[in-house]
Structures are given as structure tokens and as C-alpha cells.
A and B are shown apart, each in its own frame.
Chain A
Amino acid sequence: MSAAASTGSYALRLFWLAVVFALPCLFILLPMLAFLIYGFWHVEGADIVRSFSFKSYLDFLGNEAYVAVFFRTLALAAKVMVINLVLGYPVALFISSIEGRMRYYLILALIVPLLMSYIIKIYAMRAILGSKGLLNQALLFLGVLDRPSDLFLFNMNAVLITMAVIMLPFMILPIFMALERIPKSLTDAAADLGATPWQRFRDITLPMSLPGAVVGGMFCFVLALGDFLAPELVGGTQGFTFGRAIFSQFGMAFNWPLGAAMSVVLLIVALAVIAAAGRIANPRWQRA
């Protein structure tokens, strides 16, 4: 029963249909198209030349500094993903192994930071990482360092640590959900047949939870790849990433077509990762 049909009048029905289709088309589809087209324009002097060419793409590929930043950012995103996989998987496993209200609270404790302002989480991390921050104090206390270090703020390490901590829930939650979907009867049967706990984990739990890890990894990778806020606010001049390079085209550099072209490169990588993850996370034996 559609609200569109609620009056029965054909004209009104058309009106609602137009609303349904027009808004997503006007404010999602057309902007995306505009942005794709922008990448094929280019800048000469201070003006945008509105004619089709690959000049902006070639400008990007010809700029060694930007290409280097691009690969450095891919490496950064991969590191965030691997660190979070190593840290996140055991946590997901732990949460799914406990029962009762505690498990509910732990999941809630992962969801709460997810809805907290990204910028605030960056701010909090920055306070921890500075030379007078908690991390330094703790390392001094433990005797790992003998004087405060600047190693953790305004460089790539800071960006890596900040992103990893903030994106952890994105890794843990999908793995937890995958673990939850494994029927208990499978591990019970394996136990009955004499499998040790380690064998049960290795042959049942681990392979069957892998799709969740893939989805979590995808989230971390794609989010880290495009972000420019964390790199800008904790990365200083050393922590320059691809997202910042794009953003700077819309600020100081003022080369919108180049920024659009670089975003298309980002978009293609992101879509490829999402598609690959979708393929791995939905293996044939799991499809309906």
C-alpha cells in the first residue's frame, strides 16, 4: 500500500513519484556525475577550462610527489588493517565466548564510540600522544624511555596509531557477527568426534569467521585511505596523505579538476577493495 496511491488521483501519484525519484537523482546522481566530469576538465592559470581532456589525470600521474603520497597512503591503510586484524580478532573471539549481560555491555561499549564524533576522537588521541601525553608518561614510568619522546605526534606513527584505535570497532563488530553465525552444533559435533579445542578453532571457527574479518578489513582500509582529518590534525607536515593532497586542491592549491581526478583514483581503489571484499566475504557455500 503506497502512500503515493493514497489519494487515488493520477496527477498526485505522479507528483509523489517525481519526489521519490527527483531528489536522489538531483542531489546524489547529478553531483556524482558533475564530479566525474570535473576530473576531465583542467586548470589554466586561475581558470577552469571546461573542455574534455585527460590533462588533470596526466598532471597527477606526472607529479612524482603525489604518486609517492598515493602509495604511502595505500601502505598506511594496509598497516591500519593488519594491526586491527591482529588486535580485533582476539577481542571478537573473547566477546563471543562469554555469555549473559556482560556480552551485551561489551558490544554496546564498541558501538558507543562508533557514534562519537570522529574529530573528538582524534582530539582525545592527540592529547594522549603528545610529548607530555599519557603514552609518554607511561613509557617513562615503565623505563622504556628515559626522556619524553616526540615520536608519537605530528608524524606518520601518530596517524597510524590514531586511525588504528579509532577504527577498531569497525574491525571487531563484523568479526563478532560472523562468529555469532557459526552454529554451535558444528563445534559440538567436532568435540564429540574428539577434536581438541585448537583443532576446533583452526578447522571450524577460524575459516567460518573469515568473511567477517574480510568485511572489517575492508572498512578499515577504505576509511583509512580517504581520511584527511586524522592526518591533518595529528600528522603534522610529515603525515601527509592522499586525502590531504586531495583536500588541498580545494583549498590553497585551488585546482578543483586535479582534486576531482585524484578523488576518482581514490574512488576506483575504494570500489575495487569493496568489490573484492564482497566476493571473498560471500563465498559460494554461504550464498542462499
Chain B
Amino acid sequence: MTRTAKIMLGVLSACVFTALYLPIFMVALMSFFRLRRGRIQWDSFSFDWYTDLFRNQQIIDALLNTLVVGFFAVLIALVIATLLAFHMHRHPGRTSAGLQFVIFLPFLLPPIITGLSLLVYFREIGFGRGLIAVIVGHSIFVLALVYRTILNRLQTLSRSLIEASQDLGATRWQTFRYVLFPHLRMAVVTAALLAFALSFDETIITLFLVGDTSTLPIRLYAMMRVGFTPEINALVTLILLFSAGLTLIIARFVGGSEGQLGLK
């Protein structure tokens, strides 16, 4: 690549990254300062919006709901995805391939379809909307991702390790506990973090299933429909920090070194 070409590409890339990050930084900035006639008052720095936020009971409740949903959705997805991965690993074949296709559907299809189908299904079987419905929705939404992460790791394990453990007289449980599980541990942690991050931000499926209660993204959605309130900036900044932190931790688990990240 010639030098001029590279400089032009670099300038364009700088513009694109600015477009990606500037809106986010503006929100963070606005959470500390007051506005007057569209201009930031630089001498008005305060944490007022943050303290208001923690006095807002609706937001605290929404946060707790989000955490509860995330915890149970991740737990359910982990158990089922691990079982599925073991099953798939042991009995690859047509039925398993079909099953794999099914669990990938909620991940591939537009979320509006997943949310909608659960909504009409729950209505037909007479299951009410609410947090449990949301937990089910999130579990199936993150299932494919957790499953794939664990299966990938499982496939890197040499069969001879399992055979060796059996030759040495380990029971099947012992083989699982002392050979398989340590091998899978990192994959499980990565998958759980990633799944939690997805669940924490999920809005569309949740919107269909949440009913009268509310999670953090739903609360935000409701607040935004009413209009701007300065508290939103503080809330948004905190959530952004949380998501960014989680992503960086996941990136450490997945990549560590430069090369691997590009391959993911």
C-alpha cells in the first residue's frame, strides 16, 4: 500500500471511530455538566444526576430485575448448553445437527421474531408475561453462543486423555470432574460473561415478554419515550462503563494476545 493511500485510509478511519465514540462521550460528559441554551456550562460540574439516580426506586428495581434475569438465564443456558455440547460431541449425526439448527435459530433470526413467537406461545399455553418469561427468552437467546463456545473447547480435547483417565480406573464422574471440567473451565467462564453481557442489554425480546415489570433497558426505553431527563445521562454512563468493562474482561479471556482476537 502506498503512503498516500494509507494516510487517506487513516483519516477516514479516524472519522469513522469518531462517529462511533463521540455520541457516547457526549452522553458521559452531559452526565456531569448542566446545559444552558445548548451550551455546556463548564463550571457546573457535579455528581447530582448520579445521586438522583440512586434515589430513584424504579431504577433500582429495574436494575435488580436485570441482574436476576441475567443470573438465571446464564445459569440455565450454561447447564443446557453443556449437556448439548457433550451430546453433540458424543453423538454427531443427523438428529444432533437438527438440534443444533434449532438452537441457533433465536440467535440468527431478527430478535423481533424470537420475541414474538414466545409471546404468542406463552399466551396459547396460558403462561403469563413477567420475569420468568423474560428469563426463558434470554436463556434461548444466549444458548447458541454458550453452546458454541463450550463445544469448540471440547473439540480441542484429545480423546487419549479421557482414555488414559479410564485406563487408570477413574469412574465417569471422576473423568468429568478431574479431566473434562478443568479443560472446559475457561470456556465456561468466557461463555457465561458473554451471555450475561448480552442478557444485560437485551431489549427487543424483553419488550415482548416483560409485562408490567421492567428491566433496565426497558426502563430506559420508557424514559426515552417520555423525553430527555438529565438522570438518563448518568444511568447511561454507568451502564456503558459496565458493558465496556465486561467486554474488556471477555477480550482478555478470549484473546490475550493480538492474533487470536482477529481469528474469532
A residues adjacent to B (C-beta < 8 A)? 1-8, 16-17, 19-21, 23-25, 27-32, 34-35, 38, 87-88, 90-91, 93-95, 97, 100-101, 103-104, 106-128, 132, 134, 137, 165, 168-169, 172, 176-177, 180, 197, 201, 222-223, 225-229, 232-233, 243, 246-247, 250, 256, 259-260, 263, 266-267, 270, 274
Bound-state CA distance A248–B59 (Å) is 26
Provided the pairs A127-B27, A233-B225, A267-B113 are in contact, do residues A5 and B172 lie with their beta carbons within 8 angstroms? yes
Contact call A117/B120, Cβ cutoff below 8 A: no
Q: Does B60 sit within 8 A of A, measured CB to CB? A: no
Bound-state CA distance A278–B162 (Å) is 37
Residues on the B chain within 8 Å of A137, using CB: 38
Contact call A112/B2, Cβ cutoff below 8 A: no
Contact call A223/B110, Cβ cutoff below 8 A: yes
Bound-state CA distance A172–B38 (Å) is 34
Bound-state CA distance A103–B110 (Å) is 31
Contact call A112/B120, Cβ cutoff below 8 A: no
Contact call A115/B103, Cβ cutoff below 8 A: no
Bound-state CA distance A4–B38 (Å) is 63
Q: List residues of B (135-176) whose CB comes within 8 Å of A's CBs.
A: 136, 139-140, 143, 162, 172-173, 175-176
Bound-state CA distance A124–B239 (Å) is 13
B residues adjacent to A (C-beta < 8 A)? 1-2, 5-6, 8-10, 12-13, 16-17, 19-24, 26-27, 30, 38, 80, 82-84, 86-87, 89-91, 99, 102-103, 105-106, 108-113, 116-121, 124, 136, 139-140, 143, 162, 172-173, 175-176, 180, 197-198, 200-201, 203-204, 208, 217, 220-221, 224-225, 228, 232, 236, 239-240, 243-244, 246-248, 250-251, 255, 258, 261-263
Contact call B27/A30, Cβ cutoff below 8 A: no
Residues on the A chain within 8 Å of B118, using CB: 27, 31
Which single member of A7, A94, A165 contacts B13 (CB below 8 Å)? A94
Residues on the B chain within 8 Å of A113, using CB: 20-21, 24
Residues on the A chain within 8 Å of B102, using CB: 24-25, 28-29
